Structure 1
Amino acid sequence: MAKKSKNPTLEELFSDPEQFRQMHEQLYSRKPLLEQGSPFAHLLQTMVNAALDGEVLGHVAETRAQGEENKRNGYTDKTILSEAGPLSIRTPRDRQGTFEPQLVPKRERELSSGLDTQILALYAQGNSVEDIKRLLQTMFGVDISAGKISAITDQVLPVIQEWRNRRLLEFYAVIYMDAIHFKVRHEGKYSSRAFYTVYSVDGHGNRDLLGMYMSENEGANQWGLVLEDLKFRGVEDVLVFCTDDLTGFSEAMNDVFPATVVQKCLVHKMRNTTRFVDDKDMKAVVRGLKAVYKADTQEAAATALEAFEVEWGHKYSSIVVSWRRDWDELMAFLDFPIALRRMIYTTNPVEAVHRIIRKLIKGKAAWASDTALMKQVYLSLMHNEKSWRKQAYGWKAIQRDLVKLYGDRVTKHMGPS
């Protein structure tokens, strides 16, 4: 049988002038109240042990009231982690072995203090495992190993898997798709990994992230897998896919969603096709191209491009060739109502999601694995969910226009939001 606990009772602690002097000194020292070794940490340890003693007394009394023979049977010593650092606790035992402590259950090594939540929050803000280890030591005097921190962040992996496999809606009005690149350690060396983001607006104007995917590079095969996954998870119809100039995307989409319109981002197109324009010509060239995509109709846009070719075709023929090559997918937005045009002529919405990611993990040069990258990006986005899970502005008017334009293709999916 273990020795009787030598911890003071709460009554003894509160009657001890020296203890109160130490607490008063700690309060005015501007040090963390619950740093390791502080009198408040000692108080917490005492309270935990006293609470456990109270639990076993209640359990023994309950079993005796039921006519069973039972009594206390010593203690089991163990150390647990807390925000106050390691605590030495003595878990009481009973003769029957039926006592199950509630405050610190058997085999638990941590006082429920929200420490896991804080570690996940720090990880979501772009801190590395070593950063978190150092911050916890500084803030709470808690020394947690890198392995323990990694194990805590791994708790989110089943949640990510469930999120990535969740059932999606049958219909989306707009889906934005884009890729962002990161350095990841793969097969012993660091290489660039394409991280695909799929961001949507449903028939009721609600924005949502549908999925995140990773691959070594972009291409028709990879985009085909992404689109097939969306279909497998329940997506039946999409009005518009908005993309950058993604290699092989249009071909892949035609195989999976043949009725869907592809709109290539005009902002990217402008940026890419004016990279080699002379500074002295830049304003005039941009003005000429804006006249193309700000036209009211495709016919007017085609006329504006012809006018641009007359003025600049001799010097910047490659611009004209590039725009004509992608014409159908650049000007697709002109077939839609004006309010929706503003939403689909650019991939800015999904790029705003990427800015959230870059801002939070900008100090990170590379990741140890695909899993580490996925964990941190997922936590970063969920930590900032309010910034991207919004209602599309002015959606009711857009919804009315879509019903007029597409009829049953839209209305059959317009159940309650």
Structure 2
Amino acid sequence: MVDAGLLDHLMSKVDDGVALTGEGGLLPELVKAVLERGLQAELTGHLGYEKGDPAGRLVGNSRNGSTPKTVSTEVGDVDLATPRDRAGSFEPRLVPKGSRRAGGLDEMIISLYAGGMTVRDISHHLARTLGTELSHDTISKITDAVLDEVKAWQSRPLDEIYPIIYLDALVVKVRDGHAVRNKAAHIAVSVDLDGVKHVLGIWVQATEGAKFWAGVCAELRNRGIRDVLIVCCDGLTGFPEAIEATWSQTTVQTCTVHLIRAAMRFVSYTDRRKIAAALKPIYTAPTADAARLELDAFAASDLGNRYPAAVMTWENAWERFIPFLEFTPEVRKIIYTTNAIESLNYLLRKVIKNRGHFPNDDAIIKLLWLAIRDIEDKRARQRAKEKGLPPAERRAPAKLVEGATIQGWKKALGSLVMTFPERIAHYIK
């Protein structure tokens, strides 16, 4: 088209005021021409002879006119003349029978949904930009088509051992009968023996703590996990007990950053820097005994007396915090915080903020899974565009969670092997 000058001719039509998309637009007409020619070519292949070829008289089947059909596409609705054969045996693949959507329209809808648009928003967007009218029910069915894929992902087999699992939650609003209430959507991210992160699953908390976490742990064990060295989380009711009942040797570690934030809730803005400096000797102490001395010193100080609730926060979490102090600096650096999930959750909150509430738990899991996939796909496309450029000129973001590698993992793994030789050594090849 470019060499023949046809593209210039078409663009001149646009300059003359011809619309690109929508009813009567240039692009829908092009799509119509391409699809109809493609369907005719399919029918020719099915019959085995070209239109008008006398050899067709010997075949026993022939062309039999066409059937009108309206198909929704990425550039608007297109009216097609779908060819038929007399025997009724022609099954087009380009636009299958019963299909009312062509091209990447389904993928576009799923992408818009993963980006945070509601079903109603998507319907308005398609009508306004493409002139395509799709009902809310149709759009819901398109997004629901990924549920089987989500369920397969949520039940896929897992490795026998994960050195570290991080757990964090998002608060979402879900309709429950005639009321809307808050629920926690928990996301688990693991680090495998190669230091690569993976999203293990998404669970919406529907029951009280202990029972819910027992079910989650049982599911992970049934999917193949036989041992976990360290689980890093933020004081979840019933979770440590469920972990220890499932994997008795696992260390459940309270996220140090969460603990600092929890203490800061009671501190005035003007004193936050001072409190942060006073707390640092506690979580950087070489041993649990040294950390205890630092906490006692903080409690006895002027700041400790001014903010007793901050001191109590550390006192209450002490038993779940001190396992952190048993590890080397290389391991501490990795389990110090659940940032591996928090960066992801920050982007997921941006996706769900436009929604008033979700109709059910499956809708939450579906959207979060699609959003995670969409985030990683966008980053992968950005990296692909910069492929071949010198490292200093690359600006594309790295993998966020799925497939990302922990920095400094080799040293941390060496330390874990020395700490847990009987549990991890035979898994390392």
TM-score, with length taken from structure 2:
0.85
| Structure 2 counterpart SS, 1:303 | helix
CA shift for structure 1 position 151: 0.9
Query: Deviations 1:143-185 (Å, cap 9, x if unpaired)?
Result: 2221111111011100100011111111111111122211111
In structure 2, do the counterparts of structure 1 residues 364 and 263 end up closer, same or farther at CA, with 3 Å as the change threshold?
A: same
CA shift for structure 1 position 301: 1.0
Query: Deviations 1:51-86 (Å, cap 9, x if unpaired)?
Result: 323332343235968964222222222222222322
Instruction: Name the aligned partner's letter for residue 415 of structure 2.
Output: D
Q: Structure 1: where are the runs of 5+ without partners? A: 1-13
In structure 2, do the counterparts of structure 1 residues 353 and 66 end up closer, same or farther at CA, with 3 Å as the change threshold?
A: farther
Equivalent residue, structure 1, for 2:291? 301
Equivalent residue, structure 2, for 1:72? 63
Say whether residues 1:49 and 2:36 are aligned partners: yes
Give the Cα separation in 1 of the matches to 2:355 and 2:346.
14
Equivalent residue, structure 2, for 1:387? 400
Equivalent residue, structure 1, for 2:359? 368
Equivalent residue, structure 2, for 1:225? 215
In structure 2, do the counterparts of structure 1 residues 332 and 70 end up closer, same or farther at CA, with 3 Å as the change threshold?
A: same
Equivalent residue, structure 2, for 1:9? none
Give the Cα separation in 1 of the matches to 2:230 and 2:30.
62
Give the Cα separation in 2 of the matches to 1:265 and 1:20.
59
| Structure 2 counterpart SS, 1:81 | strand
Instruction: Name the aligned partner's letter for residue 283 of structure 2.
Output: Y
Instruction: Name the aligned partner's letter for residue 249 of structure 1.
Output: F
Say whether residues 1:202 and 2:216 are aligned partners: no
Instruction: Name the aligned partner's letter for residue 167 of structure 2.
Output: M
Match of 2:15 among 28, 33, 36: 28
Q: 1:73-222 alignment to 2 at 5 Å?
A: 73-111=64-102, 113-216=103-206, 219-222=209-212
CA shift for structure 1 position 212: 0.4
Instruction: Name the aligned partner's letter for residue 396 of structure 1.
Output: K
Q: Structure 2: where are the runs of 5+ without partners? A: 377-398
Deviates more, 1:201-210 or 1:396-405: 396-405
Deviates more, 1:130-139 or 1:46-55: 46-55
Instruction: Name the aligned partner's letter for residue 219 of structure 2.
Output: D
| Structure 1 counterpart SS, 2:185 | strand
Q: 1:323-402 alignment to 2 at 5 Å?
A: 323-385=314-376, 386-389=399-402, 390-402=404-416
What root-mean-square deviation, in Å, do the aligned CA atoms of Structure 1 and Structure 2 show?
2.7
CA shift for structure 1 position 95: 2.5
Equivalent residue, structure 2, for 1:411? 425
1:309–1:320 CA contact under 8 A, matched in 2: yes
Equivalent residue, structure 1, for 2:382? none
CA shift for structure 1 position 374: 2.0
In structure 2, do the counterparts of structure 1 residues 317 and 52 end up closer, same or farther at CA, with 3 Å as the change threshold?
A: closer
Give the Cα separation in 1 of the matches to 2:81 and 2:231.
61
Deviates more, 1:331-340 or 1:321-330: 321-330
| Structure 1 counterpart SS, 2:172 | strand
Instruction: Name the aligned partner's letter for residue 94 of structure 2.
Output: L
CA shift for structure 1 position 351: 1.7
| Structure 1 counterpart SS, 2:48 | helix
Query: Deviations 1:321-377 (Å, cap 9, x if unpaired)?
Result: 443343232121111121110111222222222112012222223222222222211
In structure 2, do the counterparts of structure 1 residues 237 and 68 end up closer, same or farther at CA, with 3 Å as the change threshold?
A: same
CA shift for structure 1 position 189: 1.7
1:72–1:95 CA contact under 8 A, matched in 2: yes
Give the Cα separation in 2 of the matches to 1:355 and 1:22.
48
Give the Cα separation in 1 of the matches to 2:345 and 2:73.
36
Equivalent residue, structure 2, for 1:268? 258
Query: Deviations 1:257-280 (Å, cap 9, x if unpaired)?
Result: 110001111222222224334566
TM-score, with length taken from structure 1:
0.87
Deviates more, 1:138-147 or 1:393-402: 138-147
In structure 2, do the counterparts of structure 1 residues 84 and 352 end up closer, same or farther at CA, with 3 Å as the change threshold?
A: closer
Deviates more, 1:72-81 or 1:385-394: 72-81
Say whether residues 1:37 and 2:24 are aligned partners: yes
Give the Cα separation in 2 of the matches to 1:244 and 1:98.
62
| Structure 1 counterpart SS, 2:410 | helix
Deviates more, 1:222-231 or 1:273-282: 273-282
Equivalent residue, structure 2, for 1:3? none
Equivalent residue, structure 2, for 1:252? 242
| Structure 1 counterpart SS, 2:73 | coil
Give the Cα separation in 1 of the matches to 2:27 and 2:147.
36
Aligned length: 397
| Structure 1 counterpart SS, 2:301 | helix
Deviates more, 1:80-89 or 1:260-269: 80-89
Give the Cα separation in 2 of the matches to 1:147 and 1:201.
39
Instruction: Name the aligned partner's letter for residue 53 of structure 1.
Output: Q
Instruction: Name the aligned partner's letter for residue 50 of structure 1.
Output: R
Give the Cα separation in 1 of the matches to 2:160 and 2:254.
23
CA shift for structure 1 position 108: 2.0
| Structure 1 counterpart SS, 2:405 | coil
Instruction: Name the aligned partner's letter for residue 334 of structure 1.
Output: L
Query: Deviations 1:390-411 (Å, cap 9, x if unpaired)?
Result: 1000111111222222223112
